[in-house]
Amino acid sequence: MNSRHDATGVCLRDLAERAGATLVGDGSVVIHRVGVLHHAGKGAIAFLSNPSYRHLLAGTHASAVILAARDADATSLPKLVTPNPYAVYARVSAILNPPPVEAAGRHETAIVAASTRVPSTSMIGPHVVIGERVAMGERTHIHAGSVIGDDCSLGDDCVLHPRVVMYPRTKIGARAIVHSGAVIGADGFGMAEDDGRWLKVPQLGRVVIGDDVEIGANTTIDRGAIEDTLIADDVKLDNQIQVGHNSNIGRHTAIAGCVGIAGSTHIGANCQIGGAAMISGHLSIPDGTIISAATFVAATIDKPGVYTGSFPLLPHREWQYVGAILRRLRTLAGRLRALERYAGRKGE
Amino acid sequence: MNSRHDATGVCLRDLAERAGATLVGDGSVVIHRVGVLHHAGKGAIAFLSNPSYRHLLAGTHASAVILAARDADATSLPKLVTPNPYAVYARVSAILNPPPVEAAGRHETAIVAASTRVPSTSMIGPHVVIGERVAMGERTHIHAGSVIGDDCSLGDDCVLHPRVVMYPRTKIGARAIVHSGAVIGADGFGMAEDDGRWLKVPQLGRVVIGDDVEIGANTTIDRGAIEDTLIADDVKLDNQIQVGHNSNIGRHTAIAGCVGIAGSTHIGANCQIGGAAMISGHLSIPDGTIISAATFVAATIDKPGVYTGSFPLLPHREWQYVGAILRRLRTLAGRLRALERYAGRKGE
Amino acid sequence: MNSRHDATGVCLRDLAERAGATLVGDGSVVIHRVGVLHHAGKGAIAFLSNPSYRHLLAGTHASAVILAARDADATSLPKLVTPNPYAVYARVSAILNPPPVEAAGRHETAIVAASTRVPSTSMIGPHVVIGERVAMGERTHIHAGSVIGDDCSLGDDCVLHPRVVMYPRTKIGARAIVHSGAVIGADGFGMAEDDGRWLKVPQLGRVVIGDDVEIGANTTIDRGAIEDTLIADDVKLDNQIQVGHNSNIGRHTAIAGCVGIAGSTHIGANCQIGGAAMISGHLSIPDGTIISAATFVAATIDKPGVYTGSFPLLPHREWQYVGAILRRLRTLAGRLRALERYAGRKGE
């Protein structure tokens, strides 16, 4: 665990160079922190990414701004000009707020099984439990109360926040960030009905996660039934996502909070899935697909695009009417057809 | 953790006085517990709040009832009469079931950083981990396995149930109740796309929570990106709610389970959000708004009211027809327009 | 925690007998593991349950297959023939992958209250906390970091994975499997509005769970307000399900991930609830009902059947048209009625 303190300050010229942006104006101004346009004060750098906030430029008290060339004339402040202001802001913020240095070492209350070697560069927090034969990368930090099952592996430079669980045999690549309460590798929901009882189907597969993956708080990813559940490199998962067994999420796909993905579904690379979307099992979503928030995907999607399926919000009374008509939409369509036939006869 | 035992008994006259209701009938009857009208027995007090249950009054075996004046004649039992039976029931139940007295003190397995002072009136359970410089109020109880990051603060009389996580710098006011598995202050879901990779945007803000807030089991509240995520006084959050970064929830708003709130959204005071509602980011909901369960809010709401947007339940076969018509609703509307034009010509 | 290793091998004849299927072909072939038809290799047994995968039979490299009589002629491999291939596969997989033997015993870091007796056949993992007067069955395993409140009970042969929380007085029957992060018995969401403030209604009931229940990762089940929340025998709950207070789930009902069930709702026996379905409070669903995924149940269902209520997925642009028409569906219905009246007059 760490605290964020105000940065000691970096001059704008250095920020331009390190973040890869063009400096326009006084490069000697010292930047201590990032801020938002309408609240930033002296020593802060703000950014303009969405042009609809352009009007805030005039009134900002920031010491510098990050923006695109098209907006550069709208302010006389020292600035970093770039085609991708949001990415430059991300880099500037990371420079100004380096992750806290945490001492390596193993807390005396951590329990580590005999066959697991803990690299001297790693940090193992209080009350952590690590099973047998776990492979741990360098500089990986496992915070308080996390539990790592037997035969797991974790790459270099990972951070597991407090109270993460990895079930046995789960594999996570390098530079993962896993937030508190995430549960990776629990049994998939597999059972066979037999004479009025459920028989549990053993869940023998693993969860295998690539490099540079972030997993949000209280997100759950189930192990496969026979084969593995796979999460590719650079996948970003927000909080409270559920990934069913044997699913497969392609490279660089980002999924917002509260999304549910049923089992054996294949989501391609470079997809974006909006919050609370729900995706059925045994289907496929092609690379580059965008699913809007609160959309239910019930069948395979054949070609990439933007897909939506949410019910529009209405004043409750209006919704009652619409709902009632919707329930008899079939009758309505029939009445329309009848009128058309009638008009057809009349028109003869 | 605590057990609830049968109360030793309070006479109805005392309950009337302490709960603020009018006693009608024998005030000397001793009440030991609360019950529901149809199952309550001797020694129990039941309540009637919803008039549709009025018929249960006749057959109840409760020793007394709490009800409104309009229903008072429907029973000859001793009674507490009040304009707000549910609130009086809440008070009576609290009187009959005082929270268990738990000894203050710090379990020997708790890890508390050197710079944090634990008040002698607080209770710190087994395997709790508390970071540096944490400010703790009086009589605050932190149950087993909870993890409090550096520089957090907690007001007086809070209860953190087992396995709560507060990330560093999270602030919670007085009298909070936080249920197990809640994660407060994890990083918001912020990243910038840069050349086919996601760059993490440092999440520098905090979560700041007012007084008298209850947070349900496995609910997650993310810290702000630059500024803070704010939860005002008397906000009540049920289980498995997700609150995105930089969001803002106004005073006395209650939110039911499974609700998702994306980032940078402002929810006003005195709102009620039904279960599984989903609210997009960067929008605003005015004070006093009611959002029905399972409703998706995709845009700012301009004036308070009751809003709904759920698809009606249908027998599956009927839904298949409705769904098919819905998909070609545009064609249907076009056909209607064509008929109108035709009728218009005919009507000339 | 445990690891799965390749089974030492069982001959097909033994599998047929122990799993209750008819052997056809060479019973001496030794089976080491289960596999899927298209990836299984020598030593593996695969199964065919869904006839749409029948074409995979021809190319499989499995050493044997499990299938129904109708598909038996499609392969010359040694086979187990059965009316229920999926159930036989479940049994075969369980035979080939017996749960790992874990040594009974109590980890030295576990905290067990004085009045609780731990059977010598049970396993209590590191950093587990068990309260007073807990009744524990034989051979029950409680993994790392779980917290069991005072006066709970757990039947024989249960497995609690790491970091489960049982609030005080929760009862769980025999052979339960509870996955990590599950929270059972937290307070229901009950409060009374009183003069612009929320009064907490004490949640005095318990959660009482039958035998053979499985509870998924990060699922939450709230205790009752006055009476108990009840989960019957053989109920299977997937991950991230929320069960509100006083609800009641009947025998052998299976509920998929991300489902929310509000308070005081009665779900019958032998129901199947699809993922992300949302069920309002104070309603009733009869035995044998099937609710499709992503469906919102807002009122009592009178007779069993399959019910659905999800919005169809559309290309975003098409959805915009449909949504716009849907909003004015009432006008559309009115225009249709006007045309009918007009046609009626014309037709006279």
Q: Please, which chains are in contact with C (at least 3 CB pairs closer than 8 A)?
A: A, B
Residue from the list A2, A252, A311 with its beta carbon closest to the beta carbon of B296:
A311
What pLDDT is attached to residue C284?
A: 98
Nearest-Cα residue of chain B relative to residue C152: B3
All residue ranges of chain A with pLDDT < 70 are 1-7, 346-348
Does the structure's ipTM exceed the value 0.90?
A: yes
- What percent of chain B is predicted at pLDDT more than 70? 97
Other beta carbons within 10 Å of B331:
10
- Asked if A78 and A25 touch (Cβ cutoff 8 Å), the reply is yes
Q: Are strands A30-31 and A220-222 parallel, antiparallel or unpaired?
A: unpaired
Mean pLDDT calculated for residue range B266-273: 98
Query: CB distance A262–C240 less than 8 Å?
Result: no
Of C245, C266, C282, C316, which is the active-site residue?
Answer: C245
Query: CB distance A177–B163 less than 8 Å?
Result: no
Q: Which residues of B touch C163 (CB under 8 A)?
A: 145, 163
Query: CB distance C294–A310 less than 8 Å?
Result: no
For residue B6, pLDDT beyond 70? no
The 10s digit of each residue's pLDDT in C290-347 is 999 999 999 999 999 999 999 999 999 999 999 999 999 989 999 999 988 888 776 5
For residue B328, pLDDT beyond 60? yes
Residue from the list C186, C194, C339 with its beta carbon closest to the beta carbon of B340:
C339
Q: Please, which chains are in contact with B (at least 3 CB pairs closer than 8 A)?
A: A, C
The 10s digit of each residue's pLDDT in B198-222 is 999 999 999 999 999 999 999 999 9
What pLDDT is attached to residue A346?
A: 67
Q: Are strands A229-231 and C129-130 parallel, antiparallel or unpaired?
A: unpaired
A226, A232, A236, A242 alpha-carbon torsion, rounded to 10°: -10
What pLDDT is attached to residue C5?
A: 43
Residue positions of A annotated with a catalytic role: 245
| B10: helix, strand or coil | strand
* CA diameter of chain B: 93
Most confident option among A332-341, B12-21, C97-106:
B12-21
What pLDDT is attached to residue C139?
A: 97
What pLDDT is attached to residue C2?
A: 35
Query: CB distance A212–B201 less than 8 Å?
Result: no
The residue among B153, B164, B193, B318 with the most chain A CBs within 10 A of its CB, best to mutate, is B193
Query: From the CA of A203, how many Å to the nearest CA of chain B?
Result: 25
Query: From the CA of A67, how many Å to the nearest CA of chain B?
Result: 14
Other beta carbons within 10 Å of C337:
12
In the annotation, is C266 catalytic?
Answer: no
Mean pLDDT calculated for residue range C54-71: 95
- Asked if B225 and B242 touch (Cβ cutoff 8 Å), the reply is no
Residue from the list A34, A252, A343 with its beta carbon closest to the beta carbon of B198:
A252
What pLDDT is attached to residue B343?
A: 83
- For every residue of chain A, which 3-state class applies, written as one string? CCCCCCCCCEEHHHHHHHHCCEEECCCCCEECEECCCCCCCCCEEEECCCHHHHHHCCCCCCCEEEECHHHHHHCCCCEEECCCHHHHHHHHHHHHCCCCCCCCEECCCCEECCCCCCCCCCEECCCCEECCCCEECCCCEECCCCEECCCCEECCCCEECCCCEECCCCEECCCCEECCCCEEEECCCCEEEECCEEEECCCCCCEEECCCCEECCCCEEECCCCCCEEECCCCEECCCCEECCCCEECCCCEECCCCEECCCCEECCCCEECCCCEECCCCEECCCCEECCCCEECCCCCCCCEEECCCCCEEHHHHHHHHHHHHCHHHHHHHHHHHHHHHHHHHC
pLDDT classification of B59: cutoffs 50, 70, 90? very high
Query: CB distance B183–A218 less than 8 Å?
Result: yes
Query: From the CA of C235, how many Å to the nearest CA of chain B?
Result: 21
Residue from the list B127, B133, B306 with its beta carbon closest to the beta carbon of A316:
B306
